[in-house]
């Protein structure tokens, strides 16, 4: 297992885990969020092929428009 940080919280993931795996574990739909890995936005078409490294800092930022 590797350890990554997701929205400030430590999380264990298998070494071959992708962004797609993570957001499906978290039950977040890809079209309602933006994902940053180590401060860089990852485009949605890379979610299945972008794998994590130990220590990666992930931010899953939700679209919201309520006011």
Angle, CA 54 vertex, CA 45 and CA 16 arms, to 5°: 50
Number of Cβ atoms within 10 Å of the Cβ of 32? 11
Angstrom CA distances, 36 to 2, 13, 66, 67, stand at 18, 17, 22, 25
Q: Is 7 in the site for another protein (CB under 8 A)?
A: yes
Q: Which is nearer to another protein, 15 or 57 (CB)?
A: 57
Shortest distance (Å) from residue 44 CB to another protein = 10
Q: Is 10 in the site for another protein (CB under 8 A)?
A: no
Residues near another protein, by CB under 8 A: 7-8, 29, 31-32, 34, 36, 39-41, 59, 61-67
């Amino acid at each position: 297992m590797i350890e990554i940080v997701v929205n400030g919280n430590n999380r264990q993931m298998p070494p071959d885990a992708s962004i797609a795996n993570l957001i499906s574990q978290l039950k977040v739909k890809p079209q309602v969020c933006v994902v940053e890995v180590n401060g860089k936005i990852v485009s949605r078409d890379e979610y299945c092929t972008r794998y994590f490294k130990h220590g990666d800092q992930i931010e899953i930022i939700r679209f919201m428009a309520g006011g």
